[in-house]
């Protein structure tokens, strides 16, 4: 590494949280404008704001900043003519409403075009007709409801009523309550250029497309609109017996609002529909509903816009396809997929299923196909490099990096792969992040960091779970993909399905053993850490081996009998494990065997893994370990205002500082020092 790595921002938590980062990339319908969203600290250094930047397609010219709002902006989409639509909340106080602004392609000031009390959750543009379809969380305003809920929202706000009355399941999702608003679709056609250029140009007139249909169109539903603006295809939830929810795809007639199912099967969830350029076919993901005995499968499916038989594309592909975009000629889909520690892009022929890999190393996301079908524009990251905007040639000839509004950064170390063989002979792989200076003469202490999911993979950069902060402290970080990880085929997922405490655990131990055979890693100083499913595995590890000096468990599952009915999507969990399997795989059953000091971390607003898991784990750890004066080697870091992830910059610093201190005490042998980041207010002058 270069000398600059030794003074990288990873050696200072205030410097780390201040690194600007790319969060999204979008391409206008005509393919002429490439817009990136970049996130940076606000002036008070206690939150992030997002600004929009226009990138040069060829990567030669410097990016141009488009927005400068102090509260930040969020890209919503484009008009057919390439005008940028972004949302922001201007003004202050309760009367400041979320507003969508139009920034003209020809230049000039942004103007307000849509104002909604619940904001705008998504937008699709009809490339030919110019019609815009807008999703907005909306209160039902009673008789004569036309979708304008500003008065109803103001009345509810001023009444101080926060109660939500539900008539269906679910009622929460990840980190927010569902209701009392329900997401609705609205249609508008922007006025011509002369109308928009007036001194007081009119706001867009929105027509309610569906009316109030609670529980059907979720707040994160995906939808697309045909080029002529006549048809919308959308995710649609179907509620069935046993509090079950099936994801389906429907066709919506824009003129009449008539809803027609085109992909609906009680054993399969369909989603993320994308219309072909000619509007005749719909590509979508197909996710089979799992059973306790069989893991789900994921495929690409295509159906006619009129419904009928659903055809699987490339159903012999032993990987799980991710997002997808049509090529302009309608003959192929550009698809992402996890694969052996990477997440490349593929071109998939829709007629034959033939696949060609377009990229090699790295993980690609937020990708968009150019109007001429020559390139895809995407964000690419690696374990050792944050997101950067790139241009991918769709003939497979290469990838070019585009000029970015975010700086290049050096990481304090290097990355290598470690492989091992599982008990059943399966090949296992892992990344190991090596700190600078690790050598046989000075072996590095080791941190086993277990990924969440569990259906996921260590293959991309993460701002939330960043191993380079630990490398800057001198730790080697092992990032394994055990059973249940994606990118290694269906059998690799199946071998851990319903047996979380089985092959996933033994795989982790095999990979750890293989890594500790290296002479630049110190087998005498080893810790384990994980979040979500990784936290579950950390808890399981704690009850099944004493080989680790310390264990950090974040947002973790502790008692699966308790977790199942209280998670935000309990209907899914009911498909995954029987009550007997949940009991057999619960870490809580092994509390009496835990001797390793544990740092428990949980956010109160975590609805995916409810706070009850962390509270129960903490109580049972203390009850099993406290001495006559209540002293315990364990610690509990609690965040009253965070969710499944720790997102605000100062809380993120408190998270890492506490992990540093806990590992330093139990792995490095230092004295315990309570982190100042937790006990005092950080200075804005850092």
pLDDT for residue 31 is more than 60:
yes
pLDDT grade for 229, boundaries at 50, 70 and 90 = very high
Closest CA to 130 of 276, 9, 228: 228
75 against 598, higher pLDDT = 598
Q: Which two tokens stand for residue 595?
A: 């001797």
Q: What is the mean pLDDT of residues 306-332?
A: 96
Closest CA to 189 of 108, 111, 113: 113
pLDDT digits (tens, 9 = 90+) for 370-423: 999 999 999 999 999 999 999 999 999 999 999 999 999 999 999 999 999 999
Q: Would the pTM of this model clear 0.75, i.e. be above it?
A: yes
Least confident of 37-51, 96-110, 358-372, 380-394: 96-110
Q: Which two tokens stand for residue 125?
A: 């543009």
pLDDT grade for 480, boundaries at 50, 70 and 90 = very high
Closest CA to 314 of 346, 288, 339, 291: 346
pLDDT for residue 686 is more than 50:
no
CA dihedral 269, 271, 275, 281 (to 10 degrees): -10
Q: Which two tokens stand for residue 56?
A: 């040069």
For the chain, percent of residues with pLDDT exceeding 90:
85
Between CA 285 and CA 299 the distance in angstroms is: 6
pLDDT digits (tens, 9 = 90+) for 481-501: 999 999 999 999 999 999 999
Give me the helices (H) in 183-238, please: 193-196
pLDDT grade for 2, boundaries at 50, 70 and 90 = very low
Give me the helices (H) in 370-502, please: 467-472, 490-494
pLDDT grade for 144, boundaries at 50, 70 and 90 = low
pLDDT grade for 287, boundaries at 50, 70 and 90 = very high
pLDDT digits (tens, 9 = 90+) for 411-457: 999 999 999 999 999 999 999 999 999 999 999 999 999 999 999 99
Query: What residues does 639 pair with on adjacent strands?
Result: 603
pLDDT grade for 208, boundaries at 50, 70 and 90 = very high
Close Cβ partners of 30 (under 8 Å, ≥ 6 residues apart): 80, 81, 82, 127, 371
pLDDT for residue 5 is more than 60:
no
Q: What is the mean pLDDT of residues 306-320?
A: 96
pLDDT digits (tens, 9 = 90+) for 540-595: 999 999 999 999 999 999 999 999 999 999 999 999 999 999 999 999 999 999 99
Q: 3-state DSSP call for residue 573?
A: helix
Order of strands, sheet of 84-89, starting from the edge strand that comes earlier in the sequence: 74-78, 84-89, 98-103, 111-115
The answer, yes or no, to whether the previous bond of 516 is cis (omega within 30 of 0) is: no
pLDDT grade for 59, boundaries at 50, 70 and 90 = confident
Between CA 459 and CA 363 the distance in angstroms is: 6
pLDDT grade for 71, boundaries at 50, 70 and 90 = confident
Q: CB neighbours (10 Å) of residue 681?
A: 9
- What local confidence, expressed as pLDDT, does residue 581 receive? 96
Residue-wise burial string across 85-103, b where 16 or more C-beta atoms lie within 10 A, e elsewhere: bbbbeeeeeeeebbbbbbb
Q: What angle, rounded to 10 degrees, do the helices at 533-542 and 503-516 form? A: 80
pLDDT grade for 191, boundaries at 50, 70 and 90 = low
Residue-wise burial string across 282-308, b where 16 or more C-beta atoms lie within 10 A, e elsewhere: bbbbbbebbebeebbbbbbbbbebebe
pLDDT for residue 1 is more than 50:
no
pLDDT digits (tens, 9 = 90+) for 338-347: 999 999 999 9
Close Cβ partners of 390 (under 8 Å, ≥ 6 residues apart): 364, 377, 378, 379, 380, 399, 400, 401, 402
First-residue to last-residue Cα distance in the chain = 26
Provide φ and ψ at 164, rounded to 5°: -130, 125
pLDDT for residue 329 is more than 70:
yes
pLDDT digits (tens, 9 = 90+) for 232-281: 999 999 999 989 999 999 999 999 999 999 999 999 999 999 999 999 99
Q: Which two tokens stand for residue 402?
A: 């585009």
Between CA 290 and CA 302 the distance in angstroms is: 21
pLDDT for residue 682 is more than 70:
no
CB contact at 8 A, 319 and 489: yes
Sorted by where each starts, the structural domains of the chain and their CATH numbers stand as 413-679 (3.40.50.1820)
- What local confidence, expressed as pLDDT, does residue 661 receive? 98
Q: 3-state DSSP call for residue 432?
A: strand
Closest CA to 362 of 397, 395, 399: 399
pLDDT grade for 196, boundaries at 50, 70 and 90 = low
pLDDT grade for 668, boundaries at 50, 70 and 90 = very high
pLDDT digits (tens, 9 = 90+) for 591-645: 999 999 999 999 999 999 999 999 999 999 999 999 999 999 999 999 999 999 9
- What local confidence, expressed as pLDDT, does residue 333 receive? 98
- What local confidence, expressed as pLDDT, does residue 679 receive? 86
Token pair 């719909």 in the structure block, residue: 282
Query: What residues does 113 pair with on adjacent strands?
Result: none
pLDDT digits (tens, 9 = 90+) for 345-373: 999 999 999 999 999 999 999 999 999 99
Average pLDDT, the chain: 93
């Amino acid at each position: 590494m270069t000398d600059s790595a030794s003074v990288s921002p990873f050696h200072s938590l205030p410097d780390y949280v201040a690194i600007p980062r790319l969060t999204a990339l979008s391409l206008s319908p005509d393919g002429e404008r490439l817009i990136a969203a970049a996130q940076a600290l606000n002036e008070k250094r206690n939150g992030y704001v997002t600004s929009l930047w226009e990138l040069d397609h060829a990567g030669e010219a410097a990016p141009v900043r488009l927005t400068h709002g102090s509260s930040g902006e969020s890209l919503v989409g484009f008009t057919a003519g390439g005008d940028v639509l972004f949302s922001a909340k201007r003004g202050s106080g309760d009367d400041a409403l979320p507003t969508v602004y139009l920034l003209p392609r020809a230049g000039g000031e942004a103007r307000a075009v849509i104002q909604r009390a619940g904001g705008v959750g998504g937008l699709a543009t009809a490339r030919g007709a110019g019609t815009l379809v807008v999703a907005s969380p909306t209160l039902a305003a009673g008789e004569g409801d036309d979708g304008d809920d500003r008065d109803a929202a103001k009345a509810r706000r001023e009444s101080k009523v926060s109660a939500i009355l539900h008539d269906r399941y679910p009622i929460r999702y990840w980190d927010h309550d569902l209701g009392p608003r329900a997401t609705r679709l609205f249609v508008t056609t922007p006025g011509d250029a002369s109308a928009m250029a007036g001194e007081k140009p009119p706001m867009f007139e929105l027509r309610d497309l569906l009316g109030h249909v609670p529980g059907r169109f979720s707040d994160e539903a995906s939808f697309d609109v045909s080029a002529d603006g006549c048809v919308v295809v959308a995710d649609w939830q179907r509620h069935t017996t046993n509090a079950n929810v099936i994801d389906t795809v429907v066709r919506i007639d824009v003129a009449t609002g008539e809803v027609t199912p085109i992909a609906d099967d009680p054993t399969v969830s369909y989603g993320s529909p994308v219309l072909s350029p000619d509007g005749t076919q719909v590509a979508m993901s197909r996710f089979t509903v799992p059973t306790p005995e069989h893991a789900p499968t994921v495929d690409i499916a295509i159906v006619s816009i009129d419904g009928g038989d659903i055809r699987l594309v490339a159903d012999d592909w032993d990987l799980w396809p991710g997002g997808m975009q049509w090529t302009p000629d309608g003959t192929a889909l550009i698809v992402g997929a996890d694969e052996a520690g990477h997440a490349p892009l593929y071109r998939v022929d829709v007629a034959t299923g033939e696949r060609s890999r377009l990229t090699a190393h790295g993980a690609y996301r937020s990708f968009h196909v150019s109007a001429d079908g020559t390139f895809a524009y995407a964000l690419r990251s690696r374990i050792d490099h944050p997101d950067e905007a790139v241009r991918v040639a769709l003939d497979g000839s290469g990838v070019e990096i585009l000029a970015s509004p975010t700086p290049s950064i050096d990481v304090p170390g290097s990355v290598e792969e470690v492989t091992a063989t599982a008990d059943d002979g399966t090949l296992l792989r892992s990344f190991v992040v090596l700190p600078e200076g690790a050598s046989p003469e000075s072996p590095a202490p080791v941190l086993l960091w277990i990924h969440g999911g569990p259906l996921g993979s260590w293959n991309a950069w993460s701002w939330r779970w960043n191993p380079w902060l630990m490398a800057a402290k001198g730790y080697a970080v092992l990032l394994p993909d055990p059973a249940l990880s994606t990118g290694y085929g269906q059998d690799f997922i199946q071998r851990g399905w319903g047996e979380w405490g089985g092959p996933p655990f033994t795989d982790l131990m095999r990979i750890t053993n293989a890594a500790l055979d290296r002479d630049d890693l110190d087998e005498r100083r080893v810790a384990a850490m994980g979040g979500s499913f990784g936290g579950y595995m950390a808890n399981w590890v704690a009850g099944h081996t004493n080989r680790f000096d310390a264990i950090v468990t974040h947002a973790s599952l502790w008692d699966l009998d308790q977790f199942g009915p209280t998670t935000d999507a309990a209907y899914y969990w009911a498909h995954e494990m029987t009550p007997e399997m949940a009991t057999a795989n619960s870490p809580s059953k092994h509390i009496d065997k835990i001797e390793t000091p544990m740092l428990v971390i949980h956010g109160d607003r975590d609805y995916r893994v409810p706070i009850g898991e962390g509270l129960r784990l903490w109580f049972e750890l203390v009850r099993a370990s406290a001495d006559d004066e209540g002293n315990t080697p364990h610690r509990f870091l609690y965040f009253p205002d965070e969710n499944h992830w720790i997102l605000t910059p100062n809380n993120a610093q408190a998270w890492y500082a506490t992990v540093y201190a806990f590992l330093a005490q139990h792995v490095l042998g230092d004295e315990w020092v309570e982190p100042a980041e937790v006990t005092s207010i950080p200075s804005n002058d850092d």
